[in-house]
Amino acid sequence: MPEKPIRKVRRGTVEPNLVDYDAACRDFSWDQARARLQGLPDGRGLNIGHEAVDAPASRHPGKVALCFVGKDRAELTYDDLRRLTNRFANVLEHLGVRRGERVATLLGRVPDLYVTVLGALKARAVYSPLFSAFGPEPVRQRLALGDVRVLVTTPSFYKRKVAPVRDDLPNLEHVLLIGAAAPAIVGTQPLAPLMGSASDDYTIGPTDPDDPALLHFTSGTTGAPKGAVHVHGAVVSHHVTGLYALDLHPDDVFWCTADPGWVTGTSYGIISPLTHGVTCVVDEGEFDAERWYATLESEAVTVWYTAPTAIRMLMKAGPALPREHDLSKLRFVASVGEPLHAEGVRWGCDVLGLPIHDNWWQTETGGIMIANFASSDIYPGSMGRPLPGIIAAVARRDDEGNVITNDGVPEFAGDDERGELVLRRGWPSMFRGYLGMDDRYEACFTGDWYRTGDVVRRDANGWFWFLGRGDDVIKSAGHLIGPFEVESTLMAHPAVLEAGVIGKPDPVAGEVVKAFVTVRAGVDPSDDLALELIGFARSRLGAAVAPREIEFDDHLPKTKSGKILRRLLKARELGLPEGDLSTLEVSH
Ligand code: ATP
Ligand code: MG
């Protein structure tokens, strides 16, 4: 365990939003958080589209809301966004789309995507993003599961990814193609003329905070993706987590690198920052280390929210590139999606001059739950502490992985004891169901507590440490081993770039730890290196936890969102079928 925290580093003159963590937790109430938002006029309720667009547009219409930095640089002000989203809401009404019906996008990071999301929310339709790198089968699966009625996409995506499966989607009534001159394709209509004849004015109808608003599919890291339903009231969580965990201030230039095809790209790439009225940078291109550093510099990004997979790629690109850029405007950097190894936090200090603040949440929680804050010290490798308003605990599990309960209440673990992360229900962005899987939803709760499926420990000071997903945890000779702690240790060795750790069945120990390791460029993956790594891990973790076996692998299997797929490593190890890869869309 790292003993020495990284002391907070303050850059610039702004005070962190969360100065006194304990006081904020003590004084917090969701009603007060709700009161920070405008609400629909005349007490007509709470609507995400209003809070993300109309409310900030009423305060500063001419301010840039979205700045697209792709080939064709474009800017949309808050007032542009207000008018365009009103038009799109009118288009949906014109098409007869009713409250609660589903509207999806299959788009890259283009302006139409943002207009569709926010316009659909204003129209009280339920919005569902589809990741644009999906092939036809994952697209079909999600459009069918979500019973989607309207899809907004490009002519090229339509031809390649939707047309081949369109016959299996009888309820997909309208396909709207973006582009100035969308070609005539049977079964579709161009969006531009519909937008052109729609009015700039739109009055959002009464919206109950419990009305469904978003349908997000999970990443599918542990199995088939699940469709999590979120409500309009979630915007309270989006807003307040942007305040506390991302430390958003009105003058910030914010860049969230997550693709809007996933929950992070919607909650924090769109909704949260817009409710704060900040300027959001949108990079339309794929990852490119050189361009990313250039974007941080040229757009004068102040707050950056990215992911461990991106940080690993930047680490791989080497330290010379960032030195060519002036990154001094950057004030706060955070990361989510996978464990952020201590190495990543330190890399931030070395290369950006700022530590990276890891935070934890999942599709089901709708917003950040546990975070490292701008005003707190950082213990590298820890995901931080619960946000004000969030009550998190560690529940004991039995050998089968079930939470142990007494009278329906989970039995809580002591300090540093490993168990399942549970959250007390009641935060506004908590999911309200898995589409078509009621039993599965019910099974997520033990009394008042939501089971996250992740195994963690909490130290005596209240910091949470991620150990692994419940399904990935290794049981070896009576020990419960989190793959993450082994991976982090291996990554501290200078030869190692990435590692994926699994339990390999063993007649004596039950399971033994096996690591798949990608070495850094120029390093020879020799038997001697494998022995050295085992020794290195033993000296830090002890023989019971260190890997017994190391296999070098230059292409660890990952989900499209960049997460290491341990279950696939395990399936390979056991010679089992790897599952339906066509729906998983693994990237290598
Ligand atoms: P599925 O539920 O379909 O298997 P998934 O869990 O990867 O996929 P997401 O909801 O996108 O789908 O990811 C949330 C999960 O990602 C968390 O439950 C956790 O396991 C992991 N995760 C997210 N942030 C962190 C973090 N900061 N540290 C460690 N793990 C994280
Ligand atoms: Mg999950």
338 lines ligand 1 (CB under 6 A): yes
Return the residue whose CA atom lies nearest to atom 16 of ligand 1: 337
Ligand 2 centroid – CA 559 distance (Å): 12
Ligand 1 closest atom vs CA 359: 27
The chain-wide mean pLDDT, for the chain, equals: 93
Q: Using CA atoms, how far apart are residues 538 and 120, in angstroms rounded to an integer?
A: 54
Is the model's pLDDT at 587 over the cut of 70?
A: no
Is the model's pLDDT at 9 over the cut of 80?
A: no
Q: Using CA atoms, how far apart are residues 110 and 177, in angstroms rounded to an integer?
A: 13
Q: Using CA atoms, how far apart are residues 128 and 96, in angstroms rounded to an integer?
A: 18
429 lines ligand 1 (CB under 6 A): no
Return the residue whose CA atom lies nearest to atom 5 of ligand 1: 219
220 lines ligand 1 (CB under 6 A): yes
Is the model's pLDDT at 74 over the cut of 70?
A: yes
Residue whose tokens read 């309960």: 405
Is the model's pLDDT at 458 over the cut of 90?
A: yes
363 lines ligand 1 (CB under 6 A): yes
Looking from the CA of 461 toward its CB, the CA atoms found within 13 Å total 12
339 lines ligand 1 (CB under 6 A): yes
Ligand 1 centroid – CA 131 distance (Å): 17
The alpha-helical segments, DSSP class H, found in 208-262 are 235-244
The average pLDDT across 485-509 equals 92
Contact predicate 269/258, CB 8 Å: yes
Is the model's pLDDT at 506 over the cut of 60?
A: yes
Q: Using CA atoms, how far apart are residues 462 and 447, in angstroms rounded to an integer?
A: 23
Closest ligand by atom to 452 CA: 1
Probe target for ligand 1 pocket from 219, 306, 373, with the most ligand atoms within 8 Å of CB: 219
Is the model's pLDDT at 585 over the cut of 50?
A: no
Q: What is the pLDDT of residues 516-571, one digit of tens each?
A: 999 999 999 999 999 999 999 999 888 888 999 999 999 999 887 788 899 899 88
Return the residue whose CA atom lies nearest to atom 18 of ligand 1: 362
Is the model's pLDDT at 12 over the cut of 80?
A: no
Distances (CA, A) of 548 to 508, 525, 535: 13, 16, 10
* Alpha carbon 338 to chain centroid, angstroms: 9
Return the residue whose CA atom lies nearest to atom 1 of ligand 1: 220
Ligand 2 centroid – CA 562 distance (Å): 14
Is the model's pLDDT at 189 over the cut of 80?
A: yes
What pLDDT is recorded for position 582? 35
306 lines ligand 1 (CB under 6 A): no
Q: What is the pLDDT of residues 510-519, one digit of tens each?
A: 899 999 999 9
Which range is least confidently modeled, 112-126, 140-154, 161-175, 211-225? Answer: 211-225
Provide the strand spans (E) within 303-380.
303-306, 332-335, 356-360, 370-371
Q: Percent of the chain, pLDDT > 70? A: 97
- Can you state the angle between helices 308-316 and 289-298, rounded to 10 degrees? 110
Ligand 1 centroid – CA 22 distance (Å): 27
What pLDDT is recorded for position 531? 96
The average pLDDT across 13-28 equals 95
Q: Using CA atoms, how far apart are residues 298 and 180, in angstroms rounded to an integer?
A: 29
Is the model's pLDDT at 121 over the cut of 50?
A: yes
Neighbours of 581 (CB within 10 A): 12
358 lines ligand 1 (CB under 6 A): yes
DSSP-based three-state secondary structure for 205: coil
DSSP-based three-state secondary structure for 238: helix
Residue whose tokens read 């997550």: 258
Positive or negative, the CA dihedral 463, 465, 466, 471 is: negative
Is the model's pLDDT at 579 over the cut of 80?
A: no
Probe target for ligand 1 pocket from 216, 267, 454, with the most ligand atoms within 8 Å of CB: 454
What does DSSP assign to residue 207?
Answer: B
Q: Using CA atoms, how far apart are residues 78 and 279, in angstroms rounded to an integer?
A: 9
- Report which of 12, 4, 3, 102 is spatially closest to residue 353, judged by C-alpha positions: 12
Return the residue whose CA atom lies nearest to atom 17 of ligand 1: 362
Ligand 2 centroid – CA 558 distance (Å): 15
Ligand 1 closest atom vs CA 383: 27
Q: What is the pLDDT of residues 247-293, one digit of tens each?
A: 999 999 999 999 999 999 999 999 999 999 999 999 998 899 999 99
Ligand 1 centroid – CA 585 distance (Å): 17
The alpha-helical segments, DSSP class H, found in 233-276 are 235-244, 263-266, 272-275
Closest ligand by atom to 470 CA: 1
Is the model's pLDDT at 434 over the cut of 90?
A: yes
Q: What is the pLDDT of residues 30-58, one digit of tens each?
A: 999 999 999 999 999 999 999 999 999 99
Burial category of 324 from C-beta neighbours within 10 Å (exposed 0-12, middle 13-18, buried 19 and up): exposed
Return the residue whose CA atom lies nearest to atom 23 of ligand 1: 337
376 lines ligand 1 (CB under 6 A): no
Is the model's pLDDT at 588 over the cut of 80?
A: no
Distances (CA, A) of 320 to 96, 290, 338: 55, 10, 26
384 lines ligand 1 (CB under 6 A): no
Ligand 1 closest atom vs CA 364: 10
Ligand 2 centroid – CA 102 distance (Å): 23
Probe target for ligand 1 pocket from 142, 216, 221, 452, with the most ligand atoms within 8 Å of CB: 221
